[in-house]
Structure 1
Amino acid sequence: MSGGDGGGTDDDGNVGQRFDRLPETAADREVEGRATREAVVGWWVERFDLDPERFAGHTFWEKGSGKIWAFAGEIDSPAEVEGLGMTFLRTRQEHWKPTTDAVQRFGRGATKNVVVLDDEDARAFLRGEDTEPEWDGDWGYLIAAHRIAGAIEPIGVGLYIYDELRSQMPKGRQRDL
């Protein structure tokens, strides 16, 4: 059967309804194109300047083609379960995309590619609306954050292109505050 989400095996060796642990390095890879733990953690470190120790104690798993999950613990691989930890990152596309859950859980302390939104833009972002915040950094996926009680808190993922921050807030989590 073809297709990563249909329960069968893709041409690349993925089984759509099974979690397979990411290999530590490319040398350990058995499935062509599968991300490695080293690459996943390295991407977060490079993109957001996060300390790699933030990911200590977490294992990373692929379910389907490029859907990466983070799990705080160890289990045997493969695992045929419905969910394992939290959705974390989408790979196997031109630009890797972090999830809202991952940004909220791991994004504190990021010092790069974080756009801090004012009250008005933060409210619009949470409603799922696009904004035009002042930003002179990289284009691509950013951590959208807001100052809350004196601290910078990640609120979600934004896609910044053409001087516009496109909210990636999932529809079920959008709020009108």
Structure 2
Amino acid sequence: MSDEESGANGGAAGGPENDGQRFDRLPATAEDRVVAGRPTREEVVEWWEERYGLSPETWDGHTFWEKGKGKIWAFAGDLVSPNPVEAVGMRVIRARQEHWKPSTDAVQRFCGEATRNVVVLEPEEAERFVRGEDQELERWDGDWGYLVAAHEFEGAREPIGVGLYLHGELRSTVPKGRQEDLS
């Protein structure tokens, strides 16, 4: 039995708490949750479906893991839980906050089929976005919050990153180390 299952770590209310130094598999449902605040697989899959229109089948064959507080990773396979490895799979969401934020890698890998909250940028807008620049974008009439920023490339819509849309402005969240000057 793991520390999480036995409660050996002792949370504030005497229950198990999150150990930020290891990967723990997300519970399947809320009924299976033993660590307060930990998202469930069901919640993660539903969030991707509700926010971006991704089919739940997108995640078939993937297990979800938390390391740290709210850093959710997807792994196309299975491991024992808990697991002390440094990394497994791909970080897909930052959760345990009011608004969950998808990772750039997850958007680029999984959101080609997204049907909601995708803003398609014109070439000049896409160039500014990947340079890490914020820009006015009054034409967007969808939800505020984290959007999939995409661009038409050779006749296909390709996700390029995560943007935060607030008050008519699209803020680029492209990590500094991945920003590019395409001009």
TM-score (norm 1): 0.93
> Which residue of structure 1 aligns with residue 3 of structure 2?
none
Deviation at 1:10, TM superposition (A): 7.0
Query: Are positions 1:149 and 2:151 aligned together?
Result: no
- Inter-partner Cα distance in structure 2 for 1:171 and 1:59: 29
> Which residue of structure 2 aligns with residue 17 of structure 1?
21
- Inter-partner Cα distance in structure 2 for 1:98 and 1:9: 30
CA contact (8 A) 1:145 1:156 kept: yes
Contiguous gaps of at least 5 residues in structure 2: 1-8
> Which residue of structure 2 aligns with residue 96 of structure 1?
100
Which residue among 21, 33, 40 is the counterpart of 1:36? 40
> Which residue of structure 2 aligns with residue 166 of structure 1?
171
Give SS of 2:136's match: coil
- Inter-partner Cα distance in structure 1 for 2:21 and 2:10: 9
Give SS of 1:160's match: strand
CA contact (8 A) 1:9 1:15 kept: no
Q: How many residues align?
A: 170
Deviation at 1:132, TM superposition (A): 2.1
Which residue among 60, 63, 70 is the counterpart of 2:64? 60
CA-based RMSD of the aligned residues comes to: 1.3
Give SS of 2:163's match: strand
CA contact (8 A) 1:50 1:107 kept: yes
* Segments ≥4 residues shifted beyond 3 Å: 8-12
- Inter-partner Cα distance in structure 1 for 2:177 and 2:61: 29
Identity rate, percent: 66
- Inter-partner Cα distance in structure 2 for 1:44 and 1:76: 25
> Which residue of structure 2 aligns with residue 3 of structure 1?
none
CA contact (8 A) 1:9 1:16 kept: no
TM-score (norm 2): 0.90
- Inter-partner Cα distance in structure 2 for 1:123 and 1:115: 14
Contiguous gaps of at least 5 residues in structure 1: 1-7
Deviation at 1:9, TM superposition (A): 8.3
Deviation at 1:119, TM superposition (A): 0.3
- Inter-partner Cα distance in structure 2 for 1:161 and 1:172: 24
